[in-house]
Structure 1
Amino acid sequence: MSVDLSFVTKVFAALFAIMNPIANVPVFLSLTDGASDAVRRHVAVKAAVGTTIGCLVSIVAGQAILDAFGLSVDDFRLAGGLIVLTIALSMLQGSSSQTHGRSPKEKEDQIDADSVAIYPLTIPLLVGPGTIATLIVFGQTAKAQAKWPELALGVGAFLTLLTVALLSAPWLGHRLSATATAITRRLMGMILAAVAMEMIVTSLRNLFPGLSH
């Protein structure tokens, strides 16, 4: 059985754009400021595990959540596309999206380095509404088109990269300038905007078949 590499790439690119490990490295460093390398590694591992669980729940329980509220996948695809587009536009403007939880408040004098791995690092910084909406849509697409292996490969590849990025945050932090981070955020915003538009157009075509003509 051949693997649909385009779907794998689409999943990987969408998750990379939304959770953007490179742009979030400075955030990780600020949240763990003053912590030892060992503590930072512990936070990174815990955040990676939490993100993995959040992704799996979104994919596996996505349809059950929709059914509970009487929604179709196209309803959620449209809403999710609008959420993702909002995040993308915010990234293109060089600011952080409040919708996705990308603006953590000023760090207090003393922070529990262990707790920040879950909040705000995992939720809502990494696994925010945009991530959840995107994964539910991809999960439904994989189910309809029998593309579970491709979905698993795309998500697994990204989560591996995310884990490596978080574990390498102290090292990367010394080598990423503010300019490089800003450029990366805008580039990811463009990719994310394209993904969002595809979600919106697809949902509108399915909800209103007449638009296709």
Structure 2
Amino acid sequence: MSLDLAFATKVFAALFAIMNPIANLPVFLSLTEGASVAVQRRVALIAAAGTAIGCTLSILAGRPILDAFGLSVDDFRLAGGLLVLLIALSMVQGSASHAHAATPSETARDLDPADVAIYPLTVPLLVGPGTIATLIIFGETARHAGKAVELAAGVSAFLVLLTGALLAAPFIGSHLSQTATAITRRLMGMILAAVAVEMMATSLRVLFPGLTR
């Protein structure tokens, strides 16, 4: 059986767009400002592990959550698509989404760098509502289409990239300009918007079959 590389790539691209390691590096650096290299690495590893756990739980718990509320995957896909589209539009406009952004109090300098690995770095900055909704939808799609291997490959590839980016944050941050960060955020916003539109279009075709006639 051949692997659906297109689906794996779509998963990778969606996670890269919504979590955007490059655009979030300045946030990581600000949260760990003044910390030693060893502490920064520890924060990066804890955040990467927390993100991996959050992604896994979102995929595995998707169906039980939908069943508990009596929702179909298409109901959730439409709502999730709208949520992801809102996040994408805020990224295109050059601002961080409120659903994933840390509040000013969360980025205060008096925070212990070791304490920010899970909150707010992992939740809600990386594993926010948009990420959870996207993974639940991809999880259900993979379950129905028999694409669990492709889903795992796409998520794993992104997590490896995220871990590398966080560990290399001090080096990358010293060479990354604000212009590059802004351009990356807008580009990822466009990709994420396309993913969101596809989610909504797919659910609308199922919920309203007459639209495809």
Would you call these one fold, judging by a TM-score over 0.5?
yes
Question: In the TM superposition, what are the counterparts of 1:107-186 in structure 2 within 5 Å?
Answer: 107-186=107-186
1:97 is displaced (CA, Å) by 0.4
Q: What is the aligned partner in structure 2 of residue 210 from structure 1?
A: 210
1:109 is displaced (CA, Å) by 4.1
Q: Could you list the structure 1 runs, at least 4 aligned residues long, displaced by more than 3 angstroms after superposition.
A: none
Q: What is the aligned partner in structure 2 of residue 105 from structure 1?
A: 104
Q: What is the aligned partner in structure 2 of residue 3 from structure 1?
A: 3
CA contact (8 A) 2:102 2:120 kept: no
1:103 is displaced (CA, Å) by 3.8
Aligned-partner SS, 1:206: helix
The CA distance in 2 between the partners of 1:118 and 1:165, in whole Å, is 17
CA contact (8 A) 2:139 2:151 kept: yes
The CA distance in 2 between the partners of 1:192 and 1:186, in whole Å, is 10
2:206 is the alignment partner of 1:193: no
The CA distance in 2 between the partners of 1:108 and 1:53, in whole Å, is 26
> AA paired with 1:112?
D
CA contact (8 A) 1:97 1:103 kept: no
Aligned-partner SS, 1:114: helix
Q: What TM-score do the two structures reach when normalised by structure 2?
A: 0.98
CA contact (8 A) 1:96 1:103 kept: no
Unaligned runs of 5+ in 1: none
Q: What is the aligned partner in structure 2 of residue 19 from structure 1?
A: 19
Alpha-carbon spacing, 1:176–1:109, altered in 2? closer, same or farther (3 Å): closer
Unaligned runs of 5+ in 2: none
Q: What TM-score do the two structures reach when normalised by structure 1?
A: 0.98
Question: In the TM superposition, what are the counterparts of 1:27-46 in structure 2 within 5 Å?
Answer: 27-46=27-46
The CA distance in 1 between the partners of 2:102 and 2:51, in whole Å, is 18
CA contact (8 A) 1:18 1:192 kept: yes
Question: In the TM superposition, what are the counterparts of 1:63-102 in structure 2 within 5 Å?
Answer: 63-99=63-99, 101-102=100-101
The CA distance in 2 between the partners of 1:17 and 1:104, in whole Å, is 21
CA contact (8 A) 1:74 1:207 kept: yes
1:35 is displaced (CA, Å) by 0.4
1:104 is displaced (CA, Å) by 3.4
Aligned-pair Cα RMSD in Å: 0.8
CA contact (8 A) 1:3 1:150 kept: yes
CA contact (8 A) 2:31 2:109 kept: no
The CA distance in 1 between the partners of 2:129 and 2:74, in whole Å, is 16
> AA paired with 2:103?
P
> AA paired with 2:122?
T
